[in-house]
């Protein structure tokens, strides 16, 4: 049976898909089956009903938040994400989306307004301080275009009133982190700098670190 929802460190995670436009050099999918004891390779993308059924099997009150973050980019499943997110918010849960920020390229339209009512918090992986190095790191099928698209999406989410932040991992080095701080300030978004997280956590898997 495939892992659609899984828990880790007091949060509940939803694994919507294995699809991704990137092949990040740091992606845990390169040499791991999942995180912790959870195998996150799916045999099919779960339907909305399958996700809701999996959520009904757990006690949501046991978790501080529910996070769309698995072994792929959640915005490939935008309709499912919106429906499940709205359902969770109706249960009173805090909902977070960890994303590479390429959802508008993936869906070929502006999507930030559609996320209102489905998620409370969005963490967008900035990863790098410039488009060229970003693309060398994430290897998006959209090429260097993905960097500006990611920043544009993050800004639009904030504009919609969603609590939005950019994130980087400190392994990129102090100089690059400083540049990322300047870039985040320039686009008017908070930057979360996190320490390297080992592959036992879903944040590592997604490259979209969660912030508390």
Q: Residue 49, Cα to own-chain centre: how many angstroms? A: 21
Half-sphere CA count of 208, side-chain side, radius 13 A: 28
* Residue 166 to residue 99: CA distance in whole angstroms: 10
Question: What phi, psi does 33 have (nearest 5°)?
Answer: -85, -15
Minimum Å gap between C-beta 29 and ligand SF4 is 5
User: Which H or E run includes 67?
Assistant: strand 66-68
Minimum Å gap between C-beta 56 and ligand SF4 is 27
Minimum Å gap between C-beta 62 and ligand SF4 is 26
Minimum Å gap between C-beta 22 and ligand SF4 is 4
Residues contacting residue 133 through CB under 8 Å, at least 6 positions apart: none
- Judged on CB neighbours under 10 Å (0-12, 13-18, 19+), 48 is middle
Between residues 20 and 193, which has the closer beta carbon with respect to ligand SF4?
Answer: 20
Query: Residue 110 corresponds to which tokens in the numbers above?
Result: 């502006």
Between residues 25 and 47, which has the closer beta carbon with respect to ligand SF4?
Answer: 25
Between residues 182 and 196, which has the closer beta carbon with respect to ligand SF4?
Answer: 196
Between residues 23 and 185, which has the closer beta carbon with respect to ligand SF4?
Answer: 23
Minimum Å gap between C-beta 25 and ligand SF4 is 9
Between residues 63 and 71, which has the closer beta carbon with respect to ligand SF4?
Answer: 71
List residues binding ligand SF4 (CB under 6 A).
20, 22-24, 27, 29, 72-73, 100, 138, 206-207
């Amino acid at each position: 049976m495939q892992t659609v929802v899984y828990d880790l460190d007091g949060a509940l995670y939803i694994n919507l898909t294995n699809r991704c436009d990137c092949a990040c050099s740091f992606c845990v999918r390169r040499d791991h089956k999942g995180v912790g004891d959870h195998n996150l390779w799916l045999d099919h993308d779960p339907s909305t009903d399958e996700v809701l059924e999996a959520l009904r099997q757990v006690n949501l009150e046991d978790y501080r938040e529910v996070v769309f973050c698995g072994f792929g980019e959640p915005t490939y499943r935008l309709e499912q994400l919106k429906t499940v997110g709205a359902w969770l918010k109706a249960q009173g849960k805090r909902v977070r989306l960890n994303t590479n920020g390429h959802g508008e390229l993936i869906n070929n339209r502006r999507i930030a307004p559609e996320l209102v009512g489905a998620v409370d918090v969005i963490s967008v992986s900035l990863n790098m301080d410039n488009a060229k190095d970003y693309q060398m790191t994430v290897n998006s099928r959209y090429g260097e275009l993905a960097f500006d698209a990611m920043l544009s999406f993050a800004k639009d989410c904030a504009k919609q009133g969603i609590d939005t932040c950019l994130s980087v991992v400190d392994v990129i080095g102090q100089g690059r982190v400083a540049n990322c701080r300047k870039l985040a300030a320039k686009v008017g978004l908070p930057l979360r700098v996190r320490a390297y997280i080992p592959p036992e956590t879903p944040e590592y898997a997604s490259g979209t670190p969660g912030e508390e």
